[in-house]
Structures are given as structure tokens and as C-alpha cells.
Amino acid sequence: MAEVVGIRFKDTGKVYYFDPDGRKLNKFDKVIVETVRGVECGEVADENYQVPDEEILKPLRKIIRIADSKDIARYNENRKKEVEAFDVFVKKAENHKLEMKLVDVEYAFDGSKILFYFTADGRVDFRELVKDLAGTFRTRIELRQIGVRDEARMLGGIGVCGRPFCCKTFLNDFHPVVVKMAKDQGLSLNPVKISGTCGKLMCCLKYEYNTYEQLLKTTPKPGALVETDEGRGRVTETSLLKGIVKVSLDSNPDAQPKTFEVSDVKLIKDGMIKTDKAEIEALKGME
């Protein structure tokens, strides 16, 4: 086991492990650390705790120091410069007639580099723009094209659930979300209902999927032939989380289906989850 602290460099960025080097750090403390991009000022997201050695990407870098007043002043000054650089970038991109949407600007702590994050429909030849920006700011310029999920994370907003975006508040990484997850949970494949503001499948489709996946293994599917204490019948409807199925009994097929606990029915021949391949294929672009 090793003692680490979790450091984040963006408000909703990924949390990285660092060696506290004997210091007891508190959440939201500003610290100066050495990263692959150079010296950076980060914020403590997770206080001192122990993690297994196999979870650590070695060598584990140490905290250089807790940020002092000068470091904080430089950090705040960089945030102001980022706002100014944002406006400059937008104007210069227009002058170069480039169709790109600037999302965020990030100054290196020591001012040695400015990183611009943008979205665009396709590839963009921004070589002349980079030269123009370098001549204006007199420092190294880097442009990075990002996807719509990253854009949503950076900008934030309110989801259809009425809460702030998950990616903006607590998700450190994006996990694959596929149409099958929505289908297996019995959700409508209406793009409006299963997509987030970013236009991709909602990240929350992943949260309960493992539970649904396990329940699908033990719950007869619609169309399944089952044996009940009232005779054989066909499953017409299931409620995975409630653990119940509705069965149309062969002895009285015209009657309303009866409700049974999953544990009270015996599977004879399972059914299948019906899928519209054309519908699913049309939604692939949302994954």
C-alpha cells in the first residue's frame, strides 16, 4: 500500500495520484506539482489515503510544495489571461475563416504554453492560426480538438433530470455507453429520451446496467414459455427490478395476464428481446 493524494487540474478534470511526501493535505488546498507538461498548480480533490501498489503508475511524483501567496496570485492571473486569450482566439479564427468553436483556454502555470480546446465538424488546417497566435502571445501555442462529451464537461449545464451534468460534477472518466444498454433496460429508443445535451447517449445509462444485466440472466423474457402453479403460459411483460412477470395462461388465453414472482415460475423455453436492427443502427452515431 502507498499513501497518495488525488490532484485535479481542471474543475472537472481527471484526478491524478501524487505522493504527499509526508504532508497532510486538505481538500481544495492548492499545491504545486511536477507533471509531464511541466510545473502545474493543482487542487486537492482527495485527501491523504492508501491505495494498493498495483493501482499506481510509477514513478509516483511528489508534491513540490503547498501553494503560497505568490503561487496563488500567479494562478489567478493566468485565469484572467485565459479570458483575454479566448476573445483573441475567436477573432483570429474568424479572420482566418476557420469553422471551429472554441470551448476552453488553459495557460500553463509558468506561462510557457497556452492550450486551446475546440470542436469542429471535421479536420481543420489551423497552421496559419497557430503562427498568428504565437506572434501575438509570444509563447508556445497548442490547439486540441475535442469531442462533444468533453465540451459538455467543460461548459457544464443542467441535464433532463434537473441536476448538473454528471461529467461536470463527479465523473472522472467517460465510460463506453451503447444502445444495447438502453434496450436491455426497457427504455424507449427515442433519441430525445436517451441522449444528453451533448447529443450522445446519456452517461447514466451505464450506472444500473450491471444490475439489469444480472437480472436478465434470471428473469424470463417476454414470449418465454413458463410453468406456474396455475399451469403453463407465455410471459407477456416483465419488471426486472420488482422481480415479477406477467403470464398469459394457456388454460385461459383471453383473460388478463396474471402476475407472478420470478421465483415462482419455472422456465421451459426462454423468449428473446426483440430488436429493430435498423433502429439500433441509426442510433450508433450517438454512442
- Domains by residue range for the chain, with CATH: 2-67 (no CATH), 73-146 (3.30.300), 222-269 (2.30.30.30)
What pLDDT does 170 receive? 84
Residue-level pLDDT at 281: 74
Model pLDDT, residue 12: 64
Q: What is the pLDDT of residue 57?
A: 79
Secondary structure (DSSP) of 35-97: ETTEEEEEEEEEEEEEE-GGGS-SSPPBEEEE--HHHHHHHHHHHHHHHHHHHHHHHHHHHTT
pTM attached to this predicted model: 0.78
> Cell numbers 443542467 correspond to what residue?
158
For the chain, list residues with pLDDT below 70: 12-13, 275
Q: What is the pLDDT of residue 174?
A: 87
